Structures are given as C-alpha cells and as structure tokens.
Amino acid sequence: EDKVVQSPLSLVVHEGDTVTLNCSYEVTNFRSLLWYKQEKKAPTFLFMLTSSGIEKKSGRLSSILDNKELFSILNITATQTGDSAVYLCATRPDSWGKLQFGAGTQVVVTP
Amino acid sequence: DAGVTQSPTHLIKTRGQQVTLRCSPKSGHDTVSWYQQALGQGPQFIFQYYEEEERQRGNFPDRFSGHQFPNYSSELNVNALLLGDSALYLCASSALAIGNEQYFGPGTRLTVT
C-alpha cells in the first residue's frame, strides 16, 4: 500500500528559530513530490521536486529531495508568526495524476 | 486573475440527503481534481476530470460522482450522505500545458448531522 508519512506531526517554535520538516514516502509510482502550506483552507503551492539532490529555494524556505532514500525535507529559516500553518507534502505518480498527501505537520511559531 | 473558486463555503446536511458542490478552475486550466480532507488529515483524492470525462478515481464509493462542463467548471455530487462524509472538500485545477501544478480552491466545509 502506498504511503506518505510526515514528521513530526506538530511542533512549536519561537520566532527566529529554524524548522526542519520531514516527508518520507513508499509509493508504487513516483514522478514528483510537492509541498503545500495550508493556513486555513486552501493549500498553497510551495515547491515541486523531481530531481534528487537539487535544492529549491524561495526566500526563507528551501526543500530537497532524496529519491534513493525516499524522503524530502522542508526547511524554514528565521521563522515568523506568519509561518504558522499546516505543511503538507504529496507525491504524484505521473505528470498529471492524483496527489497522495501525508497527514501534514502543524507548525506554530510563537512571538 | 481569479483563482480557483468553490461554492458554497459551508453546508449543513442531514444523513441520507444528497449534496452538490461546485468548482470553477483557475483561468487557463482544463483539469479539475476533487479531494476530501477530514479534520487533522491530509487531503484524500476523490477523482479527476479532463475533457468532461473522469480520468482517474480514488478509493471512494459510487455515492461520489462528478461532472465537468465545457467551460471546465466541475461539480461533485454525494448521495445518501453519511456522518463520515463530514469534511472539507477541496477542488484543485491544473493544466498539463503549463506545468500541471495543482492550485487549490478555498474548499467547501460540509457537515452531515
């Protein structure tokens, strides 16, 4: 059975801290891994990773994929209260197929 | 540029009733996917529509059905509602021609009593 597992399930950090979120996967077919941020309702797209070892960056956020060990990491540096959200990772088996999500990591950033 | 829109925002139904949720994709997108997100869980794939046909389906019973219209908008229908159908229903649109990243709408919160 395909599965996507995120850890930790939740964490609380202080503003300015660095956060590392983990996503491991065991799926039959894999083409890409995606990260989303969900604050209230609509998940918003962060990154799509297809190649192992290539880091993607956007401001204070960065992510990398290891498709041999089957995991991805999302890093958030110099956290701000606006980073408080649920972070979701998902795998996609082909260029247009369904997303299979993990349960998410709840991040709370305190002032 | 309007993003993905969904209606209604919230809905309360009684067990056994039927419900229809609506989704308008982002401009330029031709593919619509529907997901169910229970509280504290990640979204679960229901099905995907492209060119007015169901292209892929997740592990959901036949009570869940859908439709895509020529303007690419879509509906999700759920019959014989169960208490366990209470969830946030998310619609995502994409277009293979432009990277096929899925953009999500704000969702419809369905409560079944």
> Which string of DSSP letters, residue by residue, matches A47-95?
EEE-STT--EEETTEEEEEETTTTEEEEEE-S--GGG-EEEEEEEESSS
| Optimal mutation site among A3, A9, A10, A41, interface B, most CBs of chain B within 10 A | A41
Residue with tokens 């491991």: A24
Weakest-pLDDT range from A11-15, A19-23, A92-96, B71-75: A92-96
Please tell me the predicted confidence (pLDDT) of residue B2.
73
Q: How far apart are CA B43 and CA B59, in angstroms?
A: 13
Both structure tokens of A37: 């941020």
Cβ–Cβ gap B42/A104 under 8 Å:
yes
Q: Is A96's CB within 8 Å of B41's CB? A: no
Give the type of residue at B93.
S
CA dist B79 and B86 (Å) reads: 13
Q: Tell me the average pLDDT across A7-34.
A: 95
Q: What backbone torsions phi and psi does residue A13 show, to the nearest 5 degrees?
A: -130, 165
Q: Is the pLDDT of residue B100 over 70?
A: yes
In chain B, what residues touch A103 (CB-CB under 8 Å)? 40-42
Of residues B44, B88, B92, nearest to A41 (C-beta) = B88
| pLDDT over 70 at B57, yes or no | yes
User: Which residues are within 8 A (CB) of B99 and not within 5 positions of it... i.e. 6 or more apart?
Assistant: none
Give how far B102 is from chain A: nearest CA, Å: 8
Stretch A20-42: mean pLDDT, rounded?
Answer: 93
Mean pLDDT of B21-31: 94
User: A58 CB near a chain B CB, below 8 Å?
Assistant: no
Alpha carbon of A110: minimum distance to chain B alpha carbons (Å): 21
Q: Which residues contact B84 (CB under 8 A, 6 or more apart)?
A: B112
The predicted-structure confidence for B70-96, as pLDDT tens digits, reads as follows 999 999 999 999 999 999 999 999 987
